[in-house]
Structure 1
Amino acid sequence: MYLKMPGWYYDKKELRNSPSAQDGIDFKTEMRYRKEGARLIIDTGSRMDLGYNTMATGVVYYHRFYMFHSFKQFPRYVTACCCLFLAGKVEETPKKCKDIIKTARNLLTDHKFATFGEDPKEEVMTLERILLQTIKFDLQVEHPYQYLLKYAKCLKGDKVKLQKMVQMAWTFVNDSLCTTLALQWEPEIIAVALMYLAGKLSKFEVVDWIGRTAKHLRWWDMFVEDVTMDLLEDICHQVLDLYSHTDSANTPDSPPLQPNKSIQQLPPNAQRTSNGQEKAVSP
């Protein structure tokens, strides 16, 4: 089995025994709270034109935070803004705390925003210290995006179909942020699984790839070893479950953050604007 790095990865039993679960919040509700916080980070970040890496880093902080604290103790929308605020500084796309709160305010109902209390900025700034201690000042986070682009460049086949598959996989990576996959598996494995899913759905079958040798049965064997089909299927189903709900509250509804060039033109870490900020727009 693929060896997990220590520290930030949990099995499903551990995920179901979270501080929120111990605090009496059922698993389905906790998953909804995680999704709603992740969505606020993504929607707020999108409105503020933050790079996808910044938003993804903020979401990972958010998921990690709630492996140590209960949703009953720390309101999810306050935590979401705090995570985006910190991620902006770490990913060198800083935004003022008050601007993040103002943007989030426009996305939340009065009832939801009430959880920020009398002084929203003070709430977020105070929480930042707790967040830093909780994530043990482990600030650098890798995401599946870079691996998705790296792996795709090795695949041979119809360029148009390949591009379609990559765009679809990119969207799946975005939406996977609303799940706990980032707490379960390394970004390389998530990238492989969601490229596999996108390949199936877009009918892009990988038959050859750069660097292929006799020992490689599948293209991803070059990058991650001993990944079973059962594992890939499990990851795919966790993402597909996001789309299985018909009510709008549970349907991913943000615009996809997709690369706006052909895969062959994208450098390893996507594009950067003149101020160093990553840029990701729909094609």
Structure 2
Amino acid sequence: MTVAEAPFLAALLAGLGAQARAVADALPGLDDGETERDGRTCLDGGSAAVFGVGAPGGRVLDLQVRPDPVSTLNVQRWHGVTAAKGETTRRWERRLYLGHNAEAFTHAESIVDDRFAPLHARVGPFGRIYSVTEDPVLGPEIGWQFDRDVRVRDIVDPALWRLATPLLDDLHGFAVSRTAGPWSLAARFGPSGVRVSLGTSRWAYSVEDQAKRRRLAHWIDSLGGDGRHAEALYQLANGYRGDTRGVRIGRAAEVEVDLEAGQVATARAYLALPRKEDR
């Protein structure tokens, strides 16, 4: 499998059928000869394509690709698509900022209303804005990465930590909540309110073996998703290879909590195509 084929194959796995080719072809093209890009982040590890798999719900194509190198401003520009059979395809754009970048704050402030400032005042001093997503349907999403020496549970909403961390512990197979992460917070500023997610890229440190894949499938199943789809995406990302030594596919995970309802809304894990040197 080449990286250029990945979007189409992922669309087929999501059950898009006859729609798969059109959805995949609408994404910016990727170079068959390369799977890596400069300017790695915890989310992508240098990859040019990242799959998302979530719960609850059925099979969904959740894919973001980065066809271009990092700009002179140390910004990764990602193009995303979310599509499911019989539903309207949603397209969005995301920028990942490398290091402390003043442009990240300027960008976030320019696309979010007055709900942004209070949240940034609360969490901004303890990390940096690393992600800014523009989504015309769901609304903008801003992501903060916390500094490693920060006690995150003392900064985020107590209900977010209480509800999200047990699920992240389950995915990792140990108490990741007792580690320094890395941890991140994302806020979706939608028309009906603000939704927050707690995430960690500590999952990328876990050895890529059968146990890691099975934990993901069980995690997705237990939360009302399609565990078999998660396993199939894992195999796709690995090029249907059995040996995963030295490869990092499972990169990060996040749990979104509806704070008003006091319950988990969604959980999502991210899988990256291994870099060329790892394949």
TM-score, normalised on structure 1?
0.29
| Structure in which a larger fraction of residues adopt strand | 2
Q: Which structure shows the higher helix fraction?
A: 1
Structure number with larger C-alpha Rg: 1
